[in-house]
Amino acid sequence: MIWLIGNKGMLGTEVETLLKNRGMEYVATDLEADITDMERLREFAADRPISWIVNCSAYTAVDRAEEEPEKAFRINADGPRNIADLAKAKNAKLIHISTDYVFDGLKEGDYAEADPPNPVSVYGMSKHRGEINIAEIYHRYFIIRTAWLYGKHGPNFVATMLRLFAERKEVRVVGDQFGSPTYAPDLAAAVLAIILSGSDSFGIYHFSNEGRISWFDFAREIYRIAMEKGLVTREVALVEITTKDYLTKASRPKNACLSKEKIRSTFNIPVRTWQEALDEYLEMGSWKWGQIFKLDI
């Protein structure tokens, strides 16, 4: 049995959809099984034959974490430690989702799994501590770091851009931060592929869609495709700015590009380009974007 933790989030919803569609035996929880409450986790798992735990739960409010670090560390560090303890007790394999924010973003090329973490924000520090906690407790884990995640089941950069295109004549976007966007269904498919592989190649892996782009160029491509699909029907000026022009409470890695070579070669997981994934996302969402954001004004 697979225990999916955090099934109501952007990624968890996609993972559950795949598990359900394949008829796999699983149980899914969200806030009713608080990962910071070890006793509650034990009670939930007590009589269940759990062989896999997939943790998609996390504290993801990057800027707010600077103001409430204790909460961020409780969820992102203490929570994974509790889950690892439980996985060890059950002798279950564990999949845990982490982030590019464990790096400082100063590397020129793609980050490999062996590159040393050096987080520059509370959020990044809390996620890195979660990785450490898992590794110190249990060895049967797959930690998947991802970046720039977006999908149809939660707030994200693409949806924000579509909303801004509907509301404003000018949209300013940072152009000196680079990364590889990740479409949530593609990451969910990678999670499922690891489960189905039955592999014991435990460790840290990176996954995102393929390609390197800045936030500004990503926004420009969103606008171009949205115009082609009729999701946006008016002219909007996109203005490229620098990180210094867009102050945030938390520092962001200037380079969030992740190498996918390890996960591709180990599990034979295909990695499509971010352009292909974005086109699919906007096509699948075309029936509702106009209703939600009134994009025809």
Report d(CA 87, CA 218) in Å as an integer: 38
Per the prediction, the chain carries an average pLDDT of: 94
For the segment 148-170, what is each residue's pLDDT rounded down to a tens digit?
Answer: 999 999 899 999 999 999 999 99
Go through the domains of the chain in sequence order and give each one's CATH number: 2-154+182-211+257-271 (3.40.50.720)
Q: Is the pLDDT assigned to residue 23 strictly greater than 50?
A: yes
For the segment 167-221, what is each residue's pLDDT rounded down to a tens digit?
Answer: 999 999 999 999 999 999 999 999 999 999 999 999 999 999 999 999 999 999 9
Q: What element of type H or E holds 128?
A: helix 122-137
Give percent of the chain above pLDDT 70: 95
* pLDDT score of 296: 32
Its sign, for the CA torsion 105, 108, 114, 116, is: negative
What average pLDDT does the segment 114-119 reach?
Answer: 98
* pLDDT score of 178: 98
Q: Is the pLDDT assigned to residue 290 strictly greater than 50?
A: no
Cβ-based neighbour number of residue 43 at 10 Å: 11
* pLDDT score of 282: 94
Collapse the DSSP code of 146 into the 3-class scheme (helix H, G, I; strand E, B; otherwise coil) and give the result: strand
* pLDDT score of 293: 44
Report d(CA 297, CA 284) in Å as an integer: 21
Range with the poorest average pLDDT among 133-137, 254-258, 281-285: 281-285
213, β-bridge pairs: 179
96, β-bridge pairs: 55, 143
Residues catalogued as catalytic: 123
91, β-bridge pairs: none
Q: Is the pLDDT assigned to residue 295 strictly greater than 90?
A: no
* pLDDT score of 292: 46
For the segment 58-114, what is each residue's pLDDT rounded down to a tens digit?
Answer: 999 999 999 999 999 999 999 999 999 999 999 999 999 999 999 999 999 999 999
